[in-house]
Amino acid sequence: MMVWYWSELLVMLTNERRRALHDFIAGTVVIKKAFLLDQAAV
């Protein structure tokens, strides 16, 4: 179990998108989208 944990951490810290090992295996990418709230709606 510790081998998996350390490999996840190592992979995540060594790529610029901060993807973990399970993200590479599944082929997923997290997309962060910034948005503005309409002040009148709040």
What is the spatial distance between Cα 16 and Cα 18, in angstroms, rounded to a whole number? 5
Residues 3-23 have pLDDT tens digits of 999 998 999 899 888 888 888
Supply the pLDDT for residue 32.
Answer: 76
Rounded to two decimals, the pTM is 0.56
The beta strands (E) that lie in the chain are given as none
Supply the pLDDT for residue 42.
Answer: 54
Give 35's pLDDT tier (boundaries 50, 70, 90). confident
